Chain A
Amino acid sequence: MAGPRELPTDEVLVQRLRSGDEETFALVLDSWSGGMLRLAMSFVSTRDSAEEAVQDTWLAVIRGIDGFEGRASLKTWVYRILVNTAKARGTKESRTVPFASLLPQEEEGPTVDAERFRAPGERYAGHWVAGQEPRPWDIPEDHVLRGEVREVIAAAIDELPPRLRTVITLRDVAGYGSDEVCALLEISPGNQRVLLHRGRALLRRKLEAYLSGAHDVASGRGHA
C-alpha cells in the first residue's frame, strides 16, 4: 500500500461516483479539496471566494460525472473545472491576470542577485564572488520539512506573484507533472518552466534569508 491517500483507479472511481457511492465521493472530496483550495487562492482574492469556487466545482463534478469521457485523468478533469471556475470569479473580482502574457518583472532578469557573481570582464566572470556562494544550511534536512521552516515556506508561497504561485502550487505542492500543468493553464512548456524556476528561486531565497540568521533574532516570525 502506498499510504492513506491512495485512491482506486480512475475507472473504479468514476464507476462508483456514477452509481452514487457516497463513501467514494467523500474520499475524493477529502483528498483533493485542500489542494483545490490552495490553487483557487491564486485566482481569487479571499478565502471565502476560494471556498465557493471549490464548492461550485464539486457541484459541477457531481452533475457532470456522467459526461466525463476519461480523456484526461479524473483529477485533472476536476482541476480543470476548478481553474475555469476560479478564473471566472477572479475576472469578476478583477484579480486574474491572463496567463498567456507574462509580466516583464516576473519573466526577466536573473533569479539570483547578479552581485553575487563576478562581473563580466573579470577573471572567472559569472562565478560566485568569494563569500557570496551559497552556504550549506545549518539545519538538518528533515528539519526543513517541518515546523517553523514549513511555515516560512507557506508564507513565502502566499507572497509569490499569482502566476508563479499557481505553477508552484500545481507542480511542487500538488505534485503535477509539467505536461498536466501546461494543459491545465494553457501555457507553453517554456513558460511553465520559467514560472516554476522563478518561483522556486524566490522561495529558496526566502529560506536562505531565514536560515542564515534571521531566525536567531526573536524566533524569526513576524519580522518585516
Chain B
Amino acid sequence: MNCAEFVELVTDFLDGVMGEPTELRCLVHLARCEGCETYLDQFRQTVAAAGARSGPSLPASARAQLLRTFRILPRG
C-alpha cells in the first residue's frame, strides 16, 4: 500500500468497515509511514472539531409558538 491509496481509505479505516486483509495492510503502512500517521491523526481531529461545532437555535418566538400549539392540541 502506498500513501496515495491510504489517504483514500481513512474513513473506511475509522469506521471499521474494511475487510481484515485491507485493515492489516493499512496498519502495516501506518507503522512505517509518519506522514500517513499524521494524516490519520488530523482526520480524527477534523472529525472531532466538526462534532464540537456549536449549534444554531430556533428563535424564541418560534419555540414559544410550538409550545403553545403543543399545549392546545386536542387529545383523545
Chain B residues with Cβ below 8 Å from A193 are 11-12, 15, 17
Q: How far is the CA of A193 from the CA of B12 in the complex (A)?
A: 7
A8 proximal to B (CB < 8 A): no
Interface string of B23-67 (1 = CB under 8 A from A): 000000000011110110111011111111111111100110111
Q: Which residue in A127, A207, A208 is a CB contact (below 8 Å) of B2?
A: A127
Instruction: Assess the B43–A20 pair: CB atoms within 8 A.
Output: no
Name the CB-closest residue of A to B70. Answer: A25
Name the CB-closest residue of A to B48. Answer: A145
Q: A193-B17, A197-B11, A200-B11 are in contact. Are A22 and B41 (CB under 8 A)?
A: no
Q: A54-B58, A137-B45, A150-B49 are in contact. Are A128 and B73 (CB under 8 A)?
A: no
User: Which listed segment binds B: A30-38, A72-80, A89-97, A214-222?
Assistant: A30-38
Count, chain B residues at interface, CB 8 A: 45
Chain A residues with Cβ below 8 Å from B17 are 178, 189, 193
Q: How far is the CA of A135 from the CA of B42 in the complex (A)?
A: 9
Q: How far is the CA of A74 from the CA of B52 in the complex (A)?
A: 23
Instruction: Assess the A112–B56 pair: CB atoms within 8 A.
Output: no
Count, chain A residues at interface, CB 8 A: 60
Instruction: Assess the A178–B8 pair: CB atoms within 8 A.
Output: no
Instruction: Assess the B15–A178 pair: CB atoms within 8 A.
Output: yes
Using a CB–CB distance below 8 Å, which chain A residues touch chain B? Answer: 18-20, 22, 25-26, 29-30, 33-35, 37-38, 47, 51, 54-55, 58-59, 62-63, 110-112, 114, 117, 124-128, 133-137, 141, 144-146, 149-150, 153-154, 157, 168, 172-173, 175, 178, 189, 193, 196-197, 200-201, 203-204, 207-208
Using a CB–CB distance below 8 Å, which chain B residues touch chain A? Answer: 2-5, 7-8, 10-12, 15, 17, 33-36, 38-39, 41-43, 45-59, 62-63, 65-67, 69-71, 73, 75
Given contacts A51-B59, A112-B7, 7 further A-B contacts (CB under 8 A): A59-B66, A62-B69, A62-B70, A117-B2, A125-B2, A134-B35, A145-B49
